[in-house]
Amino acid sequence: MRNFRIIALFAALLGCSTQVQAHAMLDHASPAVGGTVATSPGQVTLYFTQALEPKFSGGEVHNAAGARVDHGKSVSGNVMRLSVGSLPPGSYSVTWHVLSVDTHTTQGSFNFHVGK
């Protein structure tokens, strides 16, 4: 009975995986999260709280109609850049997913607006 309790304690301890969550968080972005820029930014830049693994980190930019408008990404250190070229005025959504160098995955999204 005592052995069973010890085994159950170990199993409970090792079974805490449901709590696994993200580690690298979005610190800030340009254009800012929920912000408005007067003209097309050329690229969306995301700054994270930890360095990223380029191979397993990426993002997408979509316009209000749901069409993808980004073309190419670059990741260096804790910064991810998504090229968007010339964006017409309107609302855009950015979705991102990253793997931090301490091997934890995170994802998120935010919107920004181009034009007055």
Instruction: Give the residue carrying structure tokens 């079974």.
Output: 15
Distance CA 67, CA 39 (A): 19
Task: Output 9 or 39, the one with its CB closest to other proteins.
Answer: 9
In the complex, least distance from residue 53 CB atom to other proteins, rounded to whole angstroms: 5
Q: Which is nearer to other proteins, 19 or 66 (CB)?
A: 19
Host H or E run for residue 4: helix 2-14
Task: Confirm if 95 and 60 have CB atoms less than 8 A apart.
Answer: yes
Contacts with other proteins, residue ranges (CB under 8 A) = 10-11, 13-17, 19-28, 33, 49-51, 53-56, 78, 99-105, 110
CB of 15 to other proteins, least distance (A): 6
Q: How far is the CB of 6 from other proteins (least distance, A)?
A: 9
Got the DSSP string for 75-88?
Answer: EETTEEEEEEESPP
Task: Kindly tell me which of 22 and 64 has the beta carbon lying closer to other proteins.
Answer: 22
Show the tokens assigned to 11: 């199993």
